[in-house]
Amino acid sequence: MAVDYDPAIIGRVFETTDPLPVTPEMVKNFCSAIGESNPIHIDAEAAKKGPYGGITAPPSFAVTFRNGQHFFQHVPRYGKQGFDAGKDVEFVGPIRPGDAISLSSHVKEIYEKTGRTGSMVFVIVRSTLTNQKGEVVAHVDHRFMSRT
Amino acid sequence: MSTTLDLHSHSEASEDSRAPLEAYLNWLKLRSTERPVDGIVLTEHRQFNQDADYRALEDKFGILVLKASEVETDYGHVLVFGVTEEMTRRFDFANVHLPAQEVIDEIAHMGGVAIPCHPGRPNVGLCEHYGKKPPLENVIAVEVLNGGSRKGEDERSEALVQQYGYRAIGGSDSHLVSLIGLCATRFDAEIRTTDDLVRELRGGAYEPVDFRPRRKPVPQAIPVEVK
């Protein structure tokens, strides 16, 4: 094993958040913040003629949902410094105003690598977003990097 | 008949690459004039997928695809060509602290060849380690041209080759589609299989080739006397 951790931690779901209602204002504000101008996200009339028959949130809206506040107590930490090293998002279905999104997270992978600046450990946390119908709408892989 | 191969590339199977193999091959086909490579070697980080089969894509694009691995050692990163199940049983490819001398010697004994890559790169290249530890034995070649090198890194690699008499290879170290084939290795012989590649790396004739576009020199400002 390249880096020391309890293998049992991989895949274990620690916490599922309470459903968070998605309001029209949240979608509107998000579009405004990122400069989204596609009518299917901001114009109800235009969106009716679109592929989903109504307004949907932009795909990157999926990264706005947070893990539960106790989640990171269970995630192993390495070294003294760390930072968010990026996110990979797999879009599965649309998120619409009126949906209620729950987020369930687990540690997907832990690995070590070396680079120009030294050794690093990466902890990948996969969050699965589910709507009120139990449909998965997205998977978000959060990549956390620590210096060792 | 000669063969030109990009000996160092990463597809989306590596955790830090977002490049699908098909996109690599499509890019090379579209840019065959600027980057005339006959094939690429996928050297995924710290892993080897024995079962991966790329023949359908090879046939679709007419470009050779071979498999290898990039492992991490106490002397920096090393490309392993001719990977076998015996090698993956002997070494934990995910271990970033593999003993380089054992990797070089035992990979050779098991029928492959291990070549240190980007030796001029800080921390993960041979040059920095040679400043602190004895030089490795039985190194037959190092990667002198690396498409991901920063200023001065390839020059340090070249100096290492001159000092120790190593042979030289080139590879793009591509993690993005548009960077594939920027550096490569031209072999005198025809290469169709991994066995061919290992044989030629061990005893054939080859040289690194650089397809990186030359930057236009920045014009010098001409001072003008202001009255």
Q: Which residue has the tokens 């090879």?
A: B58
Residue B15 lies in a domain: yes
User: What per-residue string of b and e applies to B97-110 under the rule 16 or more CB within 10 Å gives b?
Assistant: ebebbebbebbbeb
Whether the per-residue pLDDT at A1 is higher than 90: the answer is no
Does position A103 have pLDDT exceeding 90, yes or no?
yes
CA of A119 vs chain B CAs: smallest distance (Å): 9
Q: Do A115 and B96 touch (CB under 8 A)?
A: no
User: Structural domain tally of chain B?
Assistant: 1
Q: Cα separation of B122 and B173, whole Å? A: 16
DSSP B188: S
Q: Which residues of A touch B124 (CB under 8 A)?
A: 114-116
| pLDDT at residue number A70 | 78
pLDDT in tens, B42-64: 999 999 999 999 999 999 999 99
Asked if A1's CB is within 8 angstroms of B46's CB, the reply is: no
Q: Is residue A56 pLDDT above 90, yes or no?
A: yes
Could you give the CA distance from residue A35 to residue A54 in angstroms, rounded to a whole number?
Answer: 20
Q: Does B46 touch chain A (CB under 8 A)?
A: yes
So where are chain A's domains?
Answer: 7-22+65-147
pLDDT above 80 (res B227): no
CB contact under 8 A, A113 and B121: no
When pLDDT is averaged across residues B65-80 and rounded to a whole number, the result is 98
pLDDT tens digits for range B180-224: 999 999 999 999 999 999 999 999 999 999 999 987 777 888 888
- Which chain B residues are closer than 8 Å to A112 by Cβ? 96
Average pLDDT of the segment spanning A28-45: 96
Q: Does B124 touch chain A (CB under 8 A)?
A: yes
Owning domain of residue B11 = 3-210
Tell me: pLDDT of A139 over 80: yes
Mean pLDDT for the stretch of residues B58-82: 98
DSSP-assigned letters across all residues of chain A:
--S---GGGBT-EEEEPPPEE--HHHHHHHHHHHT---HHHH-HHHHHTSTTSS----GGGGGGPPPPTTGGGSS---SS-EEEEEEEEEE-S---TT-EEEEEEEEEEEEEEEETTEEEEEEEEEEEEE-TTS-EEEEEEEEEEEE-
Is B170 among the domain residues? yes
Chain A interface includes B62 (CB < 8 A): no
For B134-191, the pLDDT digits (tens) are 999 999 999 999 999 999 999 999 999 999 999 999 999 999 999 999 999 999 999 9
Q: Which percentage of chain A shows pLDDT scores above 70?
A: 99
**How many residues are listed for chain A in this entry?**
148
More confident residue, B227 or B81: B81
Q: What CATH number does residue B202 fall under?
A: 3.20.20.140
Mutate to test the interface with B, among A110, A113, A142 (most CBs of B within 10 A): A113
- Contacts with B96 from chain A: Cβ below 8 Å: 2, 112-114, 119
**C-alpha separations of B163 from A115, B129, B160, B208, B215 in Å:** 25, 15, 5, 18, 29
In a domain, B223, yes or no: no
Average pLDDT, integer, range B111-137? 97
Say if B215 falls within a structural domain.
no
- The whole-chain average pLDDT of chain A stands at 92
CB contact under 8 A, B46 and A114: no
Global pTM value: 0.88
Which CATH number is A7-22+65-147's, of 3.10.290.10, 3.10.129.10, 3.40.50.1820, 3.40.50.720?
A: 3.10.129.10
Q: Does residue B163 fall inside a structural domain?
A: yes
Mean pLDDT of A46-58: 95
A14 falls in which pLDDT band (50, 70, 90)?
A: confident
| Closest residue in chain A to residue B75, using alpha carbons only | A114
DSSP 8-state assignment for residue B174: B
User: Does the predicted interface ipTM exceed a cut of 0.90?
Assistant: no
Looking at the domain assignment, is residue B46 inside a domain? yes
Q: How confident is the model at residue A2 (pLDDT cuts 50, 70, 90)?
A: low
Rounded Cα distance, B144 and B132, in Å: 21
Contact B181, B211 (CB under 8 A): yes
